[in-house]
Structure 1
Amino acid sequence: MSVNTALNAISALTIHGLITDTEGANIPMILHRTVAPLDLVPLLRLDEGAPPEVVYGPFIPRPPSTLPETGDLHVQLILGDEKGWGRSSFVHEVNVLPAATLPAHLPPLVLKVARSKRRAEIAREAWFYDELECLQGVVLPRCYGWFEAELAEGQSFSPSTRATGRSSDSEDSNPEWRFEDSKQLTEMSHSRNYVSVLLLEKMGGKLPIGVPLGDDLVKGIYDMYGEIAQLGVDHRDIRYSNMLAAPQGPATLPSLPSPFTGRIYTHRMIDIESCEKTNGEPSILTDWAASWIHSIVRNLPDGCIIEPWD
């Protein structure tokens, strides 16, 4: 193992502050690493029904993993302050309890927790972190694993979390239609008694508002979406809140150079659950992303946040 803990070194988590018993008392919950099957997310063919003058390439294969054998590290976490929330999940800072078994350095971390009806979305995001392993620490946060456990009778999410509350009018709707091409994801979309989480590197803040962004920063935002396009991946959820600064500080890990361009980026993209793996040429996918990015970055200096639905 290197001086930093490998992304697959952790086999289990004990989380304090997330689950309660029948009396409403917080109880520790043990979650085990889950591996997303290679066929979990169907690939999206963009050439079906396309005009003959439009040419798409073959699907780009997933690069081989460079990680060592899966480790057996068991990490205990205390749920900290909430960092954000959305339709399918909520995010909390976590504090790692000291243990003699921790062999190396873990950076500041957050826990992304699926809402009680949204296990399939976390599974899908875990698949894309595996697909884009070579870009973790480059344009994506480092992901230390997808972990799950089934709730026992009488156990439930703590009322202090957003696990069961509605984040939008569509929260109670069944998202099954989103997964109709995947039997595994469809079955997960009906799960109601699982705790499903991603353990992720903690990111920095959002892009500044009301000030010039600078040419280098703007170009970096455009280019980082071009990095995932090199693997045929389209983000599909490009918005202001999904662009965060790379972690900084003495406890953080350094940014890594891109395996494609050698560039070191100052920002990261998050929330990759809506990504699609396609047979689109990287230049096409990059151009699609650029149209969304343009609407965001050109309005930020004027103090205006443009959302996809605007």
Structure 2
Amino acid sequence: MSVNTVDVPMAVNAISALTIHGLITDSDGSSIPIMLHRTVAPLDLVPFLSLAAYEEAPEPFIPRPPSTLPGSGDIHVQLILAEEKGWGRSSFVHELNVLPTSTLPAHLPPIVLKVTRSKRRAEIAREAWFYDELECLQGVDSNPEWRFKDSKQLTEMSHSRNYVSVLLLEKMGGKLPIGVPLGDELVKGIYDMYGELAQLGVDHRDIRYSNMLAALQGSTALPSLPSPFTGRIYTHRMIDIESCEKTNGEPRMLTRWQASWVASIVKNLPKGDIIEPWD
């Protein structure tokens, strides 16, 4: 699979199970391999957020485009946890070493593993749901209870312990440069990435410098496909979509709203300043 704007869960339909080494250990520090099976987030997992409920004729919600993925595969991948690449309130991300097996394809692109912290399964479940919602853009904080309102499954996940949930993701490159001109083409690409979410009624809600990463280049990286909306091939990706909301906001309004956050970032980077949402 390739990706246009958001980072992509690797081989969503091709991989049916993972065996992970190095994530769980026993009392003497020895690794305990665990096997996880792929699950699909149900369509009704995430409640929609109405932005115009007070109007007599609010805008309808934009339906999820039909999936164009091939049929599910049955590949079992063996992974060894490697260097930690990042962490946040709800999860941490590790690089991976893939153990060769007879069932693996000849080549797997660079991938990373995002693992939930205790009692944070709801966040990663929401993120998985939004990857499905934004499939057509992918190609081949705290823990506020309002984000789980009206979803019994998410509420139960937000309080559950002794479970492990993971996302297998495309490995990303570096962040946007600081202290140098970004160039008109790159800046336009960053604006357009978030504008494309608006075409599907999705508000990112966590637009920040650290969530804009370059796509890897080279023969081992996933290829980028043209956007179905603009025909554009993007050099960067947006990540951390667990805070997204599916809304009935009018796309032009959502585009302007998200562009205001993007502007505060890209206009200050050449000055050497990183503007965060809380600034």
TM range (shorter): over 0.9
Specify which of 10, 13, 17 is matched with residue 12 of structure 1.
17
Change beyond 3 A, Cα 1:56–1:257: farther
Q: CA RMSD in A?
A: 1.8
Match of 2:34 in 1: 29
Specify which of 122, 132, 135 is matched with residue 133 of structure 1.
135
Specify which of 96, 107, 110 is matched with residue 108 of structure 1.
110
What is the deviation of 1:56? Answer: 4.7
Aligned residue identity for 1:47: A
Q: C-alpha offsets along residues 132-178 of structure 1, whole Å, 9 cap, x if unaligned?
A: 011115xxxx8xxxxxxxxxxxxxxxxxxxxxxxxx9x6xxx65443
What is the deviation of 1:104? Answer: 4.8
Q: Give the count of matched residue pairs.
A: 271
8 Å CA contact 2:122–2:155 kept in 1: the answer is: yes
8 Å CA contact 1:235–1:275 kept in 2: the answer is: yes
Matches within 5 A, 1:64-213: 64-136=66-138, 175-213=144-182
Specify which of 273, 276, 287 is matched with residue 245 of structure 2.
276
> Quick one: distance in 2 between partners of 1:23 and 1:176?
38
Provide structure 1 residue ranges, at least 5 long, that are not aligned to the other structure.
143-167
Provide structure 2 residue ranges, at least 5 long, that are not aligned to the other structure.
2-9
> Quick one: distance in 2 between partners of 1:191 and 1:175?
16
What is the deviation of 1:6? Answer: 4.5
**Counterpart secondary structure, 1:213:** coil
Aligned residue identity for 1:108: P
8 Å CA contact 2:130–2:244 kept in 1: the answer is: yes
Matches within 5 A, 1:253-268: 253-268=222-237
Match of 1:151 in 2: none
Aligned residue identity for 2:33: P
> Quick one: distance in 1 between partners of 2:192 and 2:209?
16
Confirm whether residue 219 of structure 1 aligns to residue 221 of structure 2: no
Match of 1:231 in 2: 200
Confirm whether residue 287 of structure 1 aligns to residue 262 of structure 2: no
Aligned residue identity for 1:290: A
What is the deviation of 1:193? Answer: 0.7
8 Å CA contact 2:47–2:149 kept in 1: the answer is: no
Aligned residue identity for 1:94: L
> Quick one: distance in 1 between partners of 2:223 and 2:161?
38
> Quick one: distance in 1 between partners of 2:106 and 2:153?
35
> Quick one: distance in 1 between partners of 2:84 and 2:202?
29
Confirm whether residue 58 of structure 1 aligns to residue 60 of structure 2: yes
> Quick one: distance in 2 between partners of 1:236 and 1:175?
13
Match of 2:47 in 1: 42
8 Å CA contact 1:204–1:245 kept in 2: the answer is: yes
8 Å CA contact 1:117–1:190 kept in 2: the answer is: yes
Displaced runs of 4 or more, over 4 A: none
TM-score of the aligned structures, taking structure 2 as reference length: 0.92
Aligned residue identity for 2:169: L
8 Å CA contact 1:6–1:68 kept in 2: the answer is: no
> Quick one: distance in 2 between partners of 1:83 and 1:245?
15
What is the deviation of 1:253? Answer: 1.5
Alignment identity in percent?
A: 83
Q: Does 1 or 2 have the higher relative contact order (CA < 8 Å, sep 6+)?
A: 2
